[in-house]
Amino acid sequence: MLQYLLIFLAGLAGSVHCVGMCGGFVCVLGKDSRGPAASLRRHLIYNLGRVTTYCLLGAVVGTLGVLLVGHDGEATATSLAQRALAIASGGLMVYIGMQFLGLFRGGYLRGPGFGGDILASALRQLVKAPGAGAPLALGTLNGFLPCPLVYAFLAQAAASGETLSGLLTMAAFGLGTFPAMLAMGGIGLWLRPAAPSMAVAADSAVSADPLSVRIDWRQYSLCIAGGFIILLGVITFARGVLPMSAHLHGL
Amino acid sequence: MNPISTCSHCLLAIGRLGQEREVNGEKHAFCCYGCCLAYQVHHGEREEPDAALLLIRIGVGAFIAMNIMLFSLLLYSGTFGVEDGATAHLVHSLLWILTTLLVIVLGGPFVAGAWQAARQGRLTSDTLVSIGTLAAYGYSAHQVWYGAGDVYFDTVTMVLVLFTLGRYLEARGRVQAARSLAPMLAAERAEVRAVIDGSDTMRPVHTIQAGAVLRVLPGERIAVDGVVVEGRSECDEAVLTGQSEMQVKVPGASVHAGSINGAGQLVVRATTDGNATRWIQISRAVRSALARKTLLGETVDRLAAAFIPLVVMLAIGTFWFWSGRVPFEQAMLIGLAVLVVACPCSLGLAAPLATSLGIGIAAQRGILLRSGSVLERLARINAIAFDKTGTLTEGRPKVLQVSTQDAAEQQVLLHATALASASEHPLAKAIAEAGRGLNTTAASEVRAHPGAGISGRVDGHIAAMGSVEFMSAMGWPVPASLQDGPMESTHVYVGWGHRVHGLIALADRLLPEAAEAMTALRRRGTPVLLLSGDREAVVARIATTLGIPEWRSQLMPEAKVAVLQDWAERHGPAAMVGDGLNDGPVLAAAAVGIAVGGATDLARESADVVLPERALGNLLWLFQLARSVRESIRANLTWALGYNLVAISLAMFGLLQPIFAAALMAGSSVVVVSRSLRANHRASSAPAAPIVQTAPV
């Protein structure tokens, strides 16, 4: 369980990152005319859709991990494959974590070629649509937007080598992002007219030079998230490198 | 013509299975579900609720599908415990409920499409998807109800999701094919900035009447034919004339609808009504060309129509074969794989996509094709016949030479221009053109003598201009020095004060690009024939100058038809290039009739291709384009047929899971689309016909 707590905390700290990309949608997701409870429901539905997507992705990569390494015992060819997968996933997580710390800015990990721009532009028309279906659709499709944070935890889920633990990894991460996204929604409701400019400000903070003096709370939080991801990455990496008898599996 | 006969999204022709739908208050027609989907996804920026509806449907469908896949994955991975029958049954029941929702949300459009086709007595790929998914769904529901065996709700889910995604991706690719045509087809719906009482008002272009004053901002497409009143800019007229150079526009210059304004702002006074411009005519012509089915397309459609019942029979046969040898579920899955892997979509896409790409590429160079089948015929052309006047020559006489006797050249031109400006005769117009800039006063008491000449009073004395017979009839002697003019030219005598003072020689001049085009054709070894109604000597000289080995002169229009048909029998299918004014019959009789020049009325049905004025250089390029379109279609067909053959064989032998089959099928259409787009890219970036710098003229 410690592992999932770590992931939850990493998600919590890392969710400041989400504010940059997904925060725009959340801010304008709007309030329901039927009162704050209905508005809250709208945002919860949105987040439910988003986390469901993460869960499925986690379960899929977890299953792929199973298919790749199998359930066999140690000292077989599949155990070598498992180690290789752990090393690769751990390496990827460390790399992404370092990006959060402001290193390797040049090679910023971009989404796969699914066309995040098209998806984002298509999502824009969903935010204002009424009914419960729209926020659900928005959240579900939103989950597919390219995001380095999601990739980092997907790598972790793949290395877990089990469908259920892959799912739980992503669920823990998704739940970790809940508070920040809900808070963003709340801020969006109160600061309605100022919302677009806020989203822009958040974006510019992402692109700011990490070495500049202007390191704000956001940057700190991203550093914490990066630290968590690196820690998880190192543990995963170690699982591949160290002898199996060290039994870091329990972590 | 029905204004919505092409798909609002991909601009391809709508078959019998089109869908009509209102989006954002406008009526639209779509050729398929994918286009309807993609159109609404990409035109929802205005936050219209009905545009978002479809996207919500997909999003909710994705949510349900993900839950189904999640539980299925957990089920397969043994998380719920294999022995625990009660939990498994609970999960199965949950999956049943979720899949029922999904079949309604994502399967609905496919079933609706299949139903629409069925009522017309046809089977389509929608039918295959519907049968396949409903069979798997029904069987799984039956299993859950009796609490036994495996369920295939995940297969139903993945097939539906992959097909929906495939349709969407295919439609996205198709729209790229027509992107270059979009402004042309939207010509009738364009809005213009009318200057009314000093302020600008946006008006639909069809409400603009001749005389209206419009403002054109930098970078905008000009929507009317008119004259620049104010401002200075350069315009890109490539889409009308095929010329890539920017044309300078200053007050007084004429601008043409369809050209794109450069960096300056222009104020333009319309000279024609907004719905009568050549640009609008082009728009209508291209639209109807796209809407027309091609011969090959028709054949492929029939093939695809026969293909689907065959696939259904194969699937049933496969199921029957396997059901005796393997467990029932496995036999059903194999049959299902056969159903979903067979993809007539890529077959049906192969021809129309490449053809509309071809029409679009040609239109960007100002070349209009009457229909897609013209491209098919162009690719088979072996030989080309040319008309002379207006095609290889300018079609207008020009003053070649002025000879004088006891007078200055300027004096002769002065008298000639004074008389000529009162006449509409082509020769008179050419003389007036030559004398432009001279300080002439118009002649008075002008009398035209049809077929002979013209007389009148210039500067107080009688002057006359015309043939040598006309001069003798006037009783004015022609001096010996003026008896002979240049060969193969028309001679006009000018006289005043009871004497002939000058001789003006006029001739039709060869177009410089004609020589280039002929040299290029000769290099390729294409047989060329020159057909003309003109005198033997004139035709022979032109043919010799251009290096054309075969020519026929003094032909009446009907005789041209006979000569062309005779010639085509020896050389194979022949195209005829003419100006479309007096050679209508021969253009219609040729395998492909190509009309050159803006003079041609686009509505004229005899020509299959309309080339812009002075675009003979693009002739070879056009043939190359037609051939590359044909190759692209052939490659697409081979690919689609081969793909189906392999995929169906694999599925029939039970080597393909239905989910992979659906993924393969969604992939095949995308591959055909992207193949065509690549071919498009190659063709449009190819240079025009080789320009020969040293023209032998």
Whether the predicted pLDDT of B281 surpasses 70: yes
Q: Which of A63, A114, A125, A165 to mutate to test the interface with B (most CBs of B within 10 A)?
A: A125
Q: Which residue among B45, B56, B73 sits closest to A137, beta carbon to beta carbon?
A: B56
pLDDT digits (tens, 9 = 90+) for B354-387: 887 888 888 878 788 888 888 888 988 889 998 8
A137 → closest Cβ in B55, B70, B74:
B55
ipTM of the complex: 0.73
Residues of A in contact with B58 (CB under 8 A): 137, 141
Q: How far apart are the first and last CA of chain B?
A: 46
Buried/exposed B112-132: b ≥16 CB within 10 Å, e otherwise:
ebbebbeeeeebbbbbbbbbb
Contact residues on chain B for A52, CB-CB shorter than 8 A: 63, 66-67, 70
User: Which residues lie across from B230 on neighbouring strands?
Assistant: B267
Distance CA A186, CA A199 (A): 14
| Lowest mean pLDDT across A97-101, B276-280, B412-416 | A97-101
Token pair in block for residue B313: 């029979």
Model confidence at B46, pLDDT cuts 50, 70, 90, reads: very low
Residue in B47, B48, B62 closest to A141 by CB: B62
Reading phi first (left if > 0) and then psi (alpha if -120 to 50, else beta), residue B203 is in: beta
Higher pLDDT, B273 or B301: B273
A63·B42 Cβ contact <8 A: no
What are the DSSP calls for B216-232, one per residue?
Answer: E-TTPBP-S-EEEEEE-
* Maximum C-alpha span of chain B: 125
- The model's confidence at residue A125, banded by pLDDT at 50, 70 and 90, is low
Across the interface, of B42, B44, B58, the residue whose CB is closest to A137 is: B58
Q: What is the mean pLDDT of residues A2-20?
A: 73
- Residue written as tokens 């109807």? B288
Burial of B172 per CB tally in 10 Å (0-12, 13-18, 19+) = buried
Domain membership of residue A86 (yes or no) is: yes
Identity of residue B594: I
Residue with the two structure tokens 């002379």: B388
Q: What is the pLDDT of residues A162-191, one digit of tens each?
A: 778 888 888 888 888 877 777 776 666 555
Chain A contact set for B55 (CB, 8 A): 122, 125-126, 137, 141
**Which one of B41, B62, B69 has the shortest CB-CB distance to A140?**
B62
| Nearest Cα to Cα of residue B629 among B269, B396, B328, B360 | B360
Sequence-distant (≥ 6) Cβ neighbours of residue B70 within 8 angstroms? A52, A55, A56, A59, A167
Is the distance from CB of B36 to CB of B9 less than 8 angstroms? Answer: yes
Q: Tell whether A250 is covered by a domain.
A: no
Q: Does residue A247 sit within a domain?
A: no
* Cβ–Cβ below 8 Å for B66 and A140: yes
Nearest residue in chain B measured CA to CA from A48: B63
Question: Is the Cβ of A49 closer than 8 Å to some Cβ of chain B?
Answer: yes
Residue closest to B273 by CA, chosen among B288, B261, B257: B257
Name the minimum distance, in Å, from the CA of B154 to any CA of chain A.
13
Average pLDDT of the segment spanning B226-248: 81
Tell which CATH classification among 1.10.10.60, 3.40.50.150, 2.70.150.10, 3.40.50.1100 matches the domain B189-277.
2.70.150.10
Question: Does residue A155 lie within any of the structural domains?
Answer: yes
- Minimal C-alpha gap between A131 and chain B (Å): 10
Which residue on chain B is closest to A117 by alpha carbon?
B42
Interface test with A, best of B23, B42, B43, B70 (most A CBs within 10 A): B70
Instruction: Decide if A162 touches B, using CB distance below 8 A.
Output: yes
Contact B55 A122 (CB under 8 A): yes
- Interchain contact, A163 vs B49, CB within 8 Å: no
Residues of A within 8 A of B63 (CB-CB) are: 49, 52, 136-137, 139-140
Q: Are B389 and B490 in contact (CB under 8 A)?
A: no
Q: What is the CATH number of domain B368-392+511-614?
A: 3.40.50.1000
Q: B398: exposed, middle or buried (C-beta count within 10 Å: 0-12, 13-18, 19+)? A: middle
Partner-chain residue, chosen from A53, A56, A163, that has the shortest CB–CB distance to B79: A163
Active site residues of B: 387
pLDDT at B43 over 70: no
- The rounded mean pLDDT for chain B is 79
The answer to whether A206 contacts chain B (CB < 8 Å) is no
Tell whether A164 is within 8 A of chain B (Cβ).
Answer: yes
Phi, psi angle pair for B248, to nearest 5°: -75, 135
> What is the residue range of A94's domain?
2-242
Q: Which chain A positions have a beta carbon within 8 Å of B76's beta carbon?
A: 63, 163
Q: How confident is the model at residue A215 (pLDDT cuts 50, 70, 90)?
A: very low
The Cα of A130 is separated from the nearest Cα of chain B by a number of Å equal to: 8
Least trusted range by pLDDT, from A92-96, B190-194, B598-602? B598-602
Lowest-confidence range among A109-118, B250-259, B626-635?
Answer: A109-118
Maximum average pLDDT range among A81-85, B113-117, B173-177: B113-117
Average pLDDT of the segment spanning B497-518: 85
A166 within some domain: yes
**pLDDT surpassing 50 at residue B227:** yes
The mean pLDDT value for B98-120 works out to 86
**A45 lies in some domain:** yes
Q: B49-76 and B33-42 are packed helices; what angle lies between their axes, rounded to 10 degrees?
A: 110
Contact between chains at A55 and B70 (C-beta distance less than 8 A) = yes
> Is residue A248 assigned to a domain?
no
B476's tokens: 């004015």
Does the CA dihedral B93-B95-B99-B101 come out positive or negative? positive
Tell me the residues of B at the A interface, defined by beta carbons under 8 Å apart.
41-42, 44-45, 47-49, 51-53, 55-60, 62-63, 66-67, 69-70, 73-74, 76-77, 79
Helix axes B536-546, B512-524, angle to 10 degrees: 60
Predicted pLDDT of residue B178: 63
Domain boundaries, chain B: 1-185, 189-277, 293-367+626-697, 368-392+511-614, 395-510
CATH of domain B395-510: 3.40.1110.10
pLDDT at position B494 is 92
- Residue B508 backbone phi and psi in degrees, to 5: -80, 130
Under the banding of pLDDT at 50, 70 and 90, the label for residue A207 is very low
Query: Helical H runs in B421-556?
Result: 426-434, 468-474, 512-524, 536-546
Residues A126, B56: C-beta atoms closer than 8 Å: yes
Least confident of B46-55, B67-76, B173-182, B644-653: B46-55
Kindly identify which residue of chain A lies nearest to residue B172, measuring between CA atoms.
A118
| CA A199 – CA A194 distance, rounded (Å) | 9
In a domain? residue A233: yes
For residue A138, the chain B residues in CB contact (below 8 A) are 59
| pLDDT tens figures, B602-643 | 545 667 888 877 778 888 888 888 888 888 888 888 888 888
| Count of domains forming chain A | 1
pLDDT band, residue B285 (cuts 50/70/90): confident
Highest mean pLDDT among A83-92, B78-87, B452-461, B530-539: B452-461
**Does B600 score more than 50 pLDDT?**
no
Is the full-model pTM beyond 0.80?
Answer: no
- Give the integer Cα–Cα distance in Å for A174 and A13: 12
Q: How many CB pairs under 8 A join A and B?
A: 94
Return residues 78-117 of A near B (CB < 8 Å).
none
Q: Does A161 touch chain B (CB under 8 A)?
A: no
